[in-house]
Amino acid sequence: MVLNLGTPQDYYDAMGRIEQRLELVGRPADIPEPVSESELGQLKTLAEQLFASELGYEKRIEIVAQMCGLVSGVIRQPFSP
């Protein structure tokens, strides 16, 4: 009995097709950039503001929206119910 395992190129071709099916190709490009020192400082300031007991619900939502904007790189508009 002869077992044909194919060539290394056959293996790489097959693995390429499997990776495409699993959507693994291109994933590293989707990794977001780390938060910069400036953004980290802004996030800390916003987090400290959340601890103020006198803040109302709307102001808390606005602060959280700002935090999300910093993390996602999108500037969000203030919350409007």
Q: Mind listing the pLDDT tens digit for each residue in 32-69?
A: 566 778 888 898 999 999 888 788 889 989 998 888 88
Instruction: Work out the average pLDDT over 15-44.
Output: 73
Write down the H helix ranges in the chain.
8-21, 37-50, 57-72
Q: CA-CA distance, 59 to 67, in Å (whole number)?
A: 12
| Residue 17 to residues 26, 27, 66, Cα–Cα distance (Å) | 13, 15, 41
What pLDDT was estimated at residue 3?
A: 63
